[in-house]
DNA sequence: TGCTGGATTATC
DNA sequence: ATAATCCAGCAA
């Protein structure tokens, strides 16, 4: 049984946490026996005072989880057909989150989780998975350390995808040359 | 109550 | 380049 990352990992600056999530493993438990996993290979950071962040204009029913403690999921529905998975960062009352954009998975189709909507489909993540505390042992959704490529990989930092506000900020990170990354 | 745009994706 | 598809947030 793998140990979940501690709350102290998540309750730091969003811009520190985001690249450190690369190479970590997401484990989604369906029941006692079945689970699905993938290694995070692409992330984006969304912070307070960031015009592209859902929390930029204050607390609302949808984004309130971002104002809570770190290590909790923020899952939202977008474009009428996709879900996106985030992990809340920063301490309580400071909004922030990291969008998980792509996973490397052990499947024949290496690009089956190569995008924020695609990885939620792959893991069967829906609105039911919003506001899950990932720091508890026994949580249905956790993030763990692993020895992904002995943690020797190059990280590319660039601008975020699919946003119209603050599009110039270089708050997207991905693992160089990884086939699961959503876009170059 | 009505309107607009969206942290996407597959397909044309 | 665009359709698919629905809902959060805001205006009135």
Q: Which residues touch strand C (CB under 7 A)?
A: A 54, 57, 60-63, 76-77, 79-81
Residue A126 has pLDDT above 90, yes or no: yes
Distance A80 CA to B4 C1' (A): 14
Check: CB of residue A39 under 8 Å from CB of residue A148.
yes
Distance A162 CA to B5 C1' (A): 12
Distance A77 CA to B11 C1' (A): 22
**CATH among 3.40.50.1370, 3.90.76.10, 3.30.2320.80, 3.10.300.10 for A7-175:** 3.10.300.10
Q: Which pLDDT tens digit goes with each residue over A45-59?
A: 999 999 999 999 999
Q: Which pLDDT tens digit goes with each residue over A81-107?
A: 999 999 999 999 999 999 999 999 999
**Chain centre distance of CA A164:** 20
Residue A161's nearest nucleotide, by CA–C1', is B7
Residue A62 has pLDDT above 80, yes or no: yes
pLDDT score, position A153: 97
pLDDT score, position A1: 64
Q: Is the pTM of this model over 0.95?
A: yes
User: Please, what is the Cα angle at A78 between A30 and A64, to 5 degrees?
Assistant: 80
Give which of A89, A169, A87, A162 is closest to A129, Cα–Cα.
Answer: A87
Q: Which pLDDT tens digit goes with each residue over A135-181?
A: 999 999 999 999 999 889 999 999 999 999 999 999 999 999 999 99
The structural domains of chain A, with segments of one domain joined by +, span: 7-175
């Amino acid at each position: 049984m793998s140990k979940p990352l501690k709350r102290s990992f998540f309750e730091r600056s969003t811009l520190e946490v985001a690249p450190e999530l690369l190479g970590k493993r997401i484990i989604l438990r369906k029941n006692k026996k079945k689970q699905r996993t993938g290694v995070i290979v692409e992330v984006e950071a969304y912070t307070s005072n960031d015009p592209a962040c859902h929390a930029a204009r204050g607390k609302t029913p949808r984004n309130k989880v971002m104002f809570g403690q770190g290590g909790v999921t923020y899952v939202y529905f977008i474009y009428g057909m996709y879900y996106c998975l985030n992990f809340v960062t920063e301490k309580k009352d400071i909004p922030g989150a990291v969008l998980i954009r792509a996973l490397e998975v052990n499947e024949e189709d290496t690009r089956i989780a190569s995008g924020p909507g695609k990885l939620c489909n792959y893991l069967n993540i829906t609105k039911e998975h919003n506001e899950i505390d990932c720091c508890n042992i026994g949580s249905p959704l956790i993030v763990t350390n692993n020895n992904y490529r002995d943690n020797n990989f190059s990280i590319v930092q660039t601008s975020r995808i699919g946003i119209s506000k603050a599009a110039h900020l270089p708050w997207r990170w991905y693992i160089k040359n990884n086939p699961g990354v959503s876009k170059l």
